[in-house]
Structure formats: C-alpha cells, structure tokens
Amino acid sequence: MSDTKDLLIELGTEELPPKALKKLIQAFEAGVQQGLEKAELTFDAIRSYAAPRRMAVIVDGLQTRQQDRLVERRGPAVSSAFDDEGNPTRAVQGFAKSCGVEVAGLDRIATDKGEWLIFKKQQTGSDAASLIPDIVQQALNDLPIPKRMRWSDLPGEFVRPVHWLVLLFGDAVIPMDLLGVTSGRDSRGHRFHHPENMRIQSAQTYVTQLATEGYVVVDMAVRREEIRNQVLALATELGGEAILNEDLLDEVTGLVEWPVALSGSYDKRFLDLPAEALISSMEEHQKYFAVRDKTGDLLPYFITICNIESRDPAQVIAGNERVILPRLSDSAFFWDTDRKRPLADRQAQLKTIVFQHKLGTVFDKAARVAQLAAVIAEKIGGDAALAERAALLAKCDLVTEMVGEFPDLQGIMGRYYAKLDGEHDEVAEALDEQYLPRFAGDSLPQTKTGQALSLAEKLDTLV
C-alpha cells in the first residue's frame, strides 16, 4: 500500500454568482472525486468549501501513487495465429509488435472458446502529483456554467476571472498553470479585513487559518447556520421573530464571507400595505429578512447581513434605511395605483398576452377554465357561478403593477384586490388557491371554489 497525503485545491476568483455557488461547488467536488476514482487513486474522505471569492476541495488520505498493476491484452486465437507449418501469421506478428515484444514473448490462456495468445505486462503506477492537474482541469471544464466569460487577453474561459490557485499535496505545491495563474500556497483573506496574501500551511489548517487570520468562514454550512443564528437572535432582541426564507438564506450565504447581522427600521405607514408585498420588496430587492410579531403581523424592522465588521454600524444601518425607503415607496405606489381599477376591468388586457400560439391568449384560457371550473364545482358540491367568476378573474392580477414587479405575488394580490372590490370571499380565496399545490406535499385548496379552479386550471394546461 502506498503512502497517503492530504490534498488542498483552492480556486480564488472574483465574486461568484451567489445563487449558483452551491451548485458549482457540489459539481466541482463531484468532478474531482470522479477524476480520482477514474485514476484509481484511493482516499479516505473528500469535502468541499465555498465562499463568494473561492471554491475549495480537500481530499483526506489520498494515495501518493497509483498501485502497480498487471495489464493483460488479448491477441488472436492460437488456431489462427500460426499457419500449418507453425509459422506466426501476420495477425499475430502485428499484435506482438504493438505490444513491443516478439511472438515468443506472448503467453497463452485457455478459455471455454479455445486457446488465445495474450500479452502480460507489469505497469508501474504514476505519481498522484502528476495526475492531479489534469483532474482539476477536467473538473473545472465540466462545471455547469451556462455563460462563461473571458478576461484580459487569456484564451481560457470561466464563470468569473481567476486570481489565485492553491494546490497543496502534503507539504508540497503541485505545479500547475490555470487560467492565467500559477499554483502556489498563498490564498487571500477577506477583501477588506485581510486583502493580503495568506500562506496556507496545510490542507488541515486551511479552514482554521481562513477564519482566524483571514476573516473568512469558508464552510457554507457553517456560514449559513451562523447567519441563521444571528438573524434569529437579533429578531428576538427586536421583540419579534424573523421570517426565514430558506432560498434567501442560501443566497445571502453566497454573498458574504464574514457575516454580521444588523437591524434597521422603516416608517410604520408602510404596514398598511399587504405584508407579502413588503416582504417581497425586502427579500428580492435588498436581501433583507423581515420581522413579525408573535401573532404573525409585520413589525417595522428588517435585518440585513453585512460582509464586514464596520467601525460605525450606525452609519451602515442608516444607509440601509435610506435604501429601503424608495423600494417600499414603490410598493406603496403600486398598491395605490392598482386599487384605482377593479380587477374585473383588467380582463380585456389579458387579450394582449399570448398563452400559447396554438391555444390563444390568457383571456382565451380564462374562458376555457371558467367553463370547466363550473362543471367541476357542480360535481364536488360547490357553486358553479362562483367557480366561473373566480376563473374569469383568476389571471387579472397578472397585469397589475404589483405583480409586474413581483411575479411571485400572482394569486396573492388577486385575493387582496378581489376582496377590496367586494367579490365573494370564496372567489377571492380561490384566486390565491388556484396555484395550489405548487409541489409535492404543498397545501391544498380549502374552498370548493378554489378546488374547482385549481383542477380546471391544471387540466386545461395538461390537455
């Protein structure tokens, strides 16, 4: 059994796309693992790390050299390898030549299909250090990057410009040139707290060194949990609880290297808006976490995750409060503008939106769904008239200002506007319930009208 060493691969870049970071590092780890297994290099464990400006893979206990192995190549059958006088045929001579030996140097093997000539050779294993650069290169080439970019006058492409490469195998650096950089043992810390180079001692000190010297929490899972804990604690201090959107938590984790949670506030007058509109504005535009009280009502606070320990947190908070004001003002404008027209008055606008070129407009779809929903409602003990009305209004919020800005609010805003217009409560609820269930295990429509509309909408799409 050959000796083993730990391998560290770190690729330093410009800020990577936060929503793609998790997928990229998982693919990078899988690519390295696949390359090692293909090269028949055994290892004890493999793990990956990622932060906005880096992707890293550590392989514990990696073989320093491939095992020697016996290579066998099967040649022609003995019956066709020699002529009647026992002289080797051209076929066997060609096989022997390709193996670098004389015909006499070939062995024989007996099988149930006869006797065959074979070539046996003891192949010496290659050093792992000589194989790793190609494995790294192939793993990077195979990353799921829809749009690669070029920088400078370099021929290579990657998702973002590359600035450094750490390639440590045990105590030694494996030489490699990649995308304009040469491998070494120097990493970099936080862009502001520690912009200087940091000399990495070994794969096993990598995570600790970055945290203690470089102000970088490189483990995504640890960083994510740290953000969660800070947000929850700060929300408690504010007398409420944080609304933790898991997708937002993932995105923020991909945006920061050294998370620091700060809270700010906004004018209470914005609480007159639908809570979902405020939350969408905070989450989508600012990457803020909203705060609510124990009854579920929003509090006029938000929590933001900074990527720096500021010397003047109050100034940072004030800056964030200034930024969110126009965002919430926009939402208030959308809300006020949309309420000036009844939802039903927007039906004609649906004629301008093509659903599918062979199936007509969204207006046409609404008409089909209305007929189908009425029939289904009667079958399940609902009110056909309510189901038909809900179907005709179901897509009207698509042409509102609010849904135009926040598409995820479709259905939700329809419910609000329908209630303001004095529509039947069950019709209003159905506008929200039409999209349920969105995925396996999701909530189901609770009203008969919502059930009929949801079924009709999905059946029309399927058929």
Residue 112: per-residue pLDDT? 84
Residue 21 three-state SS: helix
Residue 271: per-residue pLDDT? 98
Q: Considering the domain delimited by 4-64+127-212, tell me its CATH architecture.
A: 2-Layer Sandwich (3.30)
Residue 2: per-residue pLDDT? 59
Could you tell me the sign of the dihedral formed by the alpha carbons of 85, 88, 90, 91, in that order? Answer: positive
Residue 70: per-residue pLDDT? 78
- Integer Cα distance of 124 and 281 in angstroms: 62
Helix (H) / strand (E) containing 330 = helix 313-338
Amino acid at 75: G
- Please return the burial class of 260, using the count of CB atoms within 10 Å of its CB with bins 0-12, 13-18 and 19+: middle
Residues of the chain predicted below pLDDT 70 = 1-2, 463
Residue 79: per-residue pLDDT? 82
Residue ranges of domains in the chain: 4-64+127-212, 69-123, 220-338, 343-462
121 has which bridge partners?
Answer: 71
Contact in structure between 56 and 49 (CB atoms under 8 Å): yes
Residue 1: per-residue pLDDT? 46
- Integer Cα distance of 259 and 244 in angstroms: 16
CA distances from 202 to 39, 68, 133, 217 (A): 23, 28, 18, 17
